[in-house]
Amino acid sequence: MKLKNKILLYTSVLFIILLIVINSTIYFLFKNIMVSAEISGAEKEIENIVTGMGSANESVATNELLRAYVPADGKIQILGSDGKNIASSVSPSEQELVKTEIQFYPREIKKEITVEDKHYYFYSVPMIWKKGNLVNLQITKSIQPAYDQSETLRTILLAVTFIATLPVVASSRLMTKLIITPIQTLTKTMKDIMKSNQFKRIPLGNSEKDELYQMGETFNQMMDLLETNFKKQEQFIANASHELKTPLTVIESYAGLLKRRGLDKPEVFHESVDAIRSEAVRMREMTEQLLQLARPEESWNVNFHPVQLNEILERIVKSFCQAYHREIRLISDDNITVTSDEQKLKQLLYIIIENAIKYSEEEIKITLKKEKKTAIISVIDRGIGIPKEELPKIFDRFYRVDKARSRKYGGTGLGLSLAKEIANAISATIDIDSSPGLGTSVSIRLPLG
Ligand code: ADP
């Protein structure tokens, strides 16, 4: 069954059952009260008749006496012990009582009886009549008004139940529509997305910001996120294949040159081998960085330990000076220790220092200082610098400020984006400040402790 029909059925049926239960309770309570009141009224009247007849003058004829005491809506009868009628009187409105069966009761009897679908209260009491005969004085009094009123109430309650059902069904339909329409729109949008392979949004309208609006809004936000990530991935794949194609083309063309003229000309041989080697190194670096970037951060296995920054920086500076034959000056405050992952921190520092070496020619300065609860390592070069408008983009994958020049330096455009991911993993931050032609300062902030 459809959700729409289910909601409609459950709410309507539940409400109707509730209405029936309430109305039935009202009806039965009312009927009980009315009948009890009618019976107690009848009992009082009968009591008066019995007392009145007991004290009546013996000389009055029985028939006269009964006519005087007959209830306005009932019957009075004197019955002999042999079950034969001695005298009786019936009120004009209750003529059906004339034909009722008669029976002698040796004891006092009070009961409700039905004659031709009409309700009566019957009372019989044995008494000694004139001449010392044992007789029954039997009084029957109508209690039908209580039943008539209950019947009227039942008709009214039935009508109310029926009339109330219509607005209940109508409001259930409206409620169902309110809930179902956004769900149907969501399902339709999802189907459209599957069919068209496009990221679509749900039209939200100006409705109140209820749960259904929030559901639509969340869905749209999720679509935004998926679309952004999808575009990024597409861009990444396009860039990666493009970046790998260039070194492969260079290798291919140099290999061709080697084949054609490498054996005859030693200078061509050396140039080709150098170029092939440097492109191969660049490709290796790029694939290593790509693999690391493609790995989810959770599988990075970060191990936090106390790391003595002064020692690490001294060792790094020494090895870079030797490897690149460049001047690197270290200015540091004493004894700064942080809790970090040493290997990841070193990798981060290598990327930043290699960039400083690549994009500058003069001396590089590295400073280490403490500021409140943070250790700051700054790598400052006096190189080509980065234009201000390019600064926000340099952490993007494959982004290089000057592609031609960067290629000359062997850049992949992946270094800083990897640096950023490493920094995130070890709770560090990276800030870059740069002026074209004057140089660049990269600061890494690490929490102390
Ligand atoms: P690459 O491998 O090309 O160096 P990065 O992601 O490390 O890639 O850097 C992105 C770009 O930022 C570089 O191509 C370069 O243009 C610029 N850049 C990074 N560091 C420096 C620096 N110290 N001086 C000048 N430009 C820099």
Cβ of 411 below 6 Å from ligand 1:
yes
**27/155 Cα distance (integer angstroms):** 10
Structure tokens given for 21? 């239960």
Helices 211-257 and 266-294, axial angle in degrees (round to 10): 160
- The 10s digit of each residue's pLDDT in 333-379 is 888 999 999 988 988 999 999 999 999 999 999 999 999 899 999 99
Cβ of 380 below 6 Å from ligand 1:
no
- The 10s digit of each residue's pLDDT in 136-177 is 999 999 999 999 999 999 999 999 999 988 888 898 888 888
90 versus 213: which is more confidently predicted?
Answer: 90
- The 10s digit of each residue's pLDDT in 197-255 is 888 888 887 667 788 888 888 999 999 989 888 887 887 787 778 778 878 888 998 89
CB 350 within 8 Å of CB 316: yes
| Distance from residue 403's CA to the centre of ligand 1 (Å) | 10
Q: What is the pLDDT of residue 408?
A: 65
Beta bridge partners of 375: 370, 446
CB 282 within 8 Å of CB 307: no
Cα atoms in the Cβ-side hemisphere of radius 13 Å centred on 328: 26
Residue nearest atom 16 in ligand 1 by C-alpha distance: 401
Cβ of 353 below 6 Å from ligand 1:
no
Cβ of 347 below 6 Å from ligand 1:
no
| Distance from residue 400's CA to the centre of ligand 1 (Å) | 6
Cβ of 430 below 6 Å from ligand 1:
no
Cβ of 243 below 6 Å from ligand 1:
no
346 versus 409: which is more confidently predicted?
Answer: 346
Cβ of 23 below 6 Å from ligand 1:
no
Query: Nearest-CA neighbor of 285 among 362, 358, 385?
Result: 358
Residue nearest atom 25 in ligand 1 by C-alpha distance: 385
Nearest ligand 1 atom to alpha carbon 381: 23
Residue nearest atom 4 in ligand 1 by C-alpha distance: 411
- How deeply is 143 buried, as exposed, middle or buried, from its count of CB atoms within 10 A (0-12, 13-18, 19+)? buried
| Distance from residue 313's CA to the centre of ligand 1 (Å) | 21
Give, for ligand 1, the residue of 394, 398, 422, 430 to mutate: max count of ligand atoms closer than 8 Å to Cβ.
394
Cβ of 356 below 6 Å from ligand 1:
yes
**215/183 Cα distance (integer angstroms):** 9
- The 10s digit of each residue's pLDDT in 178-190 is 888 888 888 888 8
CB 426 within 8 Å of CB 341: yes
Give, for ligand 1, the residue of 284, 400, 444 to mutate: max count of ligand atoms closer than 8 Å to Cβ.
400
Residue with tokens 């729109």: 185
CB 332 within 8 Å of CB 313: yes
Cβ of 354 below 6 Å from ligand 1:
no
- Strands 337-340 and 374-381: what pairing? unpaired
Mean pLDDT lowest among 278-292, 346-360, 431-445: 278-292
| Distance from residue 441's CA to the centre of ligand 1 (Å) | 12
Cβ of 381 below 6 Å from ligand 1:
yes
Cβ of 357 below 6 Å from ligand 1:
no
| Distance from residue 389's CA to the centre of ligand 1 (Å) | 14
Cβ of 278 below 6 Å from ligand 1:
no
Band (pLDDT 50/70/90 cuts) for residue 286 is confident
**251/254 Cα distance (integer angstroms):** 5
- Strands 364-371 and 118-128: what pairing? unpaired
| Distance from residue 435's CA to the centre of ligand 1 (Å) | 13
Q: What is the pLDDT of residue 237?
A: 82
